[in-house]
């Protein structure tokens, strides 16, 4: 809320230009009043000395009273302007791969141990932070999917859930893309008042495990519920080694040289053909990212495509201030009356 000062009737201030004329006419010297007496001794006891400055004082007071009256007439006031943002957000379910292959180092900058998971985690949290008006939920999966959060506006709580994640958190190994997508669609279908529903599917592998849905049937389910799928495949399209790591913490087992000790397996080259088909079926878009910069671009593009509708509603309220100069003028008027009948009382 912002405040500003203004006059409701600023034209009234033009009356202030008449004050010099008023002061001039009131201050003109006229004939001195006189009475004829044979001796001044006859009236000496009636009153004290004539206070020659009384006329100037009363002229000053009356001028100030007129100024205050004109200012009150102009209607001084504070304008309080409030702008309310009405948002029609997007309901988003993040479907996040926690399979072991997310520990691969093929996207790491040289000399670092930055995993696919580390890079995806950083960008995902940044995306959530930039969408304060959207309800966002989270499904994580490996061999089976788990709902960590339904769509919510409590993004602080959602980001806390991201901090809890690590590879190895889900005991069942594998990559259940179809089941995870189906779970996300069911949660979005429950949002009856939603105008726009989106799934952001991030994975680095092929679907190799399912209980109820394979990827393409889950995409058809999404299309039926008017849910768009934005799929993001991360990892380079070449074989790479999966180093050994602690499943309870998601951290590599390191040797004295600071390098990971041991290998679990060699990962196959990435294959994202199915992800592209899923996105096309639902009217979404498919992406691949082989490094952090490409993933930055992916999230920026999704952020641009799925814009939150915002409406600004302005409201003005006024705090009148005319009573301040009005009361001040009345106080000066009473002061003039008091002085005229006491200290500066005139003798008839």
Given this model, what pLDDT does residue 147 score?
A: 96
Given this model, what pLDDT does residue 279 score?
A: 96
| 145 in Cβ contact with 183 (< 8 Å) | yes
| 165 in Cβ contact with 140 (< 8 Å) | yes
- Find tokens 């199915």 and name the residue: 274
Six-digit token pair at 165?
Answer: 């994640």
Given this model, what pLDDT does residue 308 score?
A: 64
Six-digit token pair at 185?
Answer: 């669609």
Number of Cα atoms under 13 Å in the Cβ half of residue 265: 6
| Domain range summary for the chain, segments of one domain joined by + | 2-82+315-340, 90-307
Q: What is the pLDDT along the chain (348 residues), one digit of tens a residue?
A: 677 888 888 888 888 888 787 777 766 544 445 555 555 555 555 554 444 556 677 778 888 888 888 888 888 888 887 765 555 678 999 999 999 999 999 999 988 999 999 999 999 999 999 888 889 999 999 999 999 999 999 999 999 999 999 999 999 999 999 999 999 999 999 988 777 899 999 999 888 888 889 999 999 999 999 999 999 999 988 888 999 999 999 999 999 989 999 989 888 877 789 999 999 999 999 999 998 899 999 999 998 888 766 555 667 788 888 889 889 989 888 888 887 778 766 655
pTM: 0.66
- The SS3 call for residue 233 is strand
- Find tokens 């920026």 and name the residue: 300
Q: Which CATH architecture has domain 90-307?
A: 3-Layer(aba) Sandwich (3.40)
| Contacts for 39 with CB less than 8 Å, ≥ 6 apart | none
Given this model, what pLDDT does residue 55 score?
A: 66
Cα 194 from Cα 135, distance rounded (Å): 9
| Contacts for 274 with CB less than 8 Å, ≥ 6 apart | 177, 206, 207, 215, 216
Given this model, what pLDDT does residue 18 score?
A: 81
Strands (E), the chain: 2-7, 76-88, 91-97, 135-141, 145-152, 197-203, 227-234, 240-243, 245-246, 251-252, 263-267, 285-289, 309-320
């Amino acid at each position: 809320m912002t405040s500003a000062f203004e006059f409701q009737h600023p034209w009234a201030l033009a009356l202030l230009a008449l004050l010099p004329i008023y002061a001039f006419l009131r201050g003109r010297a006229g004939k001195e009043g006189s009475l004829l007496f044979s001796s001044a001794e006859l009236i000496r006891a009636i009153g004290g000395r004539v206070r020659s400055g009384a006329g100037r004082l009363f002229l000053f007071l009356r001028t100030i009273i007129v100024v205050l009256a004109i200012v009150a007439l102009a209607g001084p006031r504070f304008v309080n302007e409030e702008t309310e943002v009405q948002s029609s957000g997007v309901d988003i379910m993040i479907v996040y791969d926690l399979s072991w292959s997310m520990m691969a180092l093929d996207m790491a900058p040289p000399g670092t141990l930055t995993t696919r998971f580390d890079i995806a985690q950083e960008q995902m949290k940044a995306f959530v932070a930039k969408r304060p008006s959207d309800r966002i939920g989270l499904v994580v999966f490996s061999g089976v999917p788990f709902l960590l959060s339904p769509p919510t506006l409590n993004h602080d709580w959602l980001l806390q859930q991201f901090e809890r994640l690590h590879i190895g958190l889900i005991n069942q190994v594998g990559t259940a893309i179809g089941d995870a997508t189906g779970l996300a669609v069911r949660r979005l279908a429950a949002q009856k008042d939603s105008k726009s529903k989106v799934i952001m599917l991030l994975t680095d592998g092929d679907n190799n495990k399912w209980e109820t849905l394979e990827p393409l049937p889950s995409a058809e389910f999404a299309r039926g519920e008017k849910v768009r799928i934005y799929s993001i495949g991360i990892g380079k399209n070449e074989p790479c080694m999966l180093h050994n790591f602690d499943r309870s913490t998601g951290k590599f087992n390191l040797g004295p040289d600071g390098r990971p000790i041991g290998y679990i397996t060699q990962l196959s080259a990435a294959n994202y053909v199915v992800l592209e088909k899923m996105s096309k079926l639902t009217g979404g878009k498919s992406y691949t990212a082989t490094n952090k910069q490409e993933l930055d671009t992916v999230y920026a593009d999704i952020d641009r495509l799925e814009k939150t509708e915002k409406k600004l509603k302005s409201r003005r309220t006024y705090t009148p201030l005319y009573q301040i100069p009005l009361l001040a003028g009345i106080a000066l008027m009473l002061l003039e009356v008091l002085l005229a009948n006491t200290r500066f009382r005139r003798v008839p």
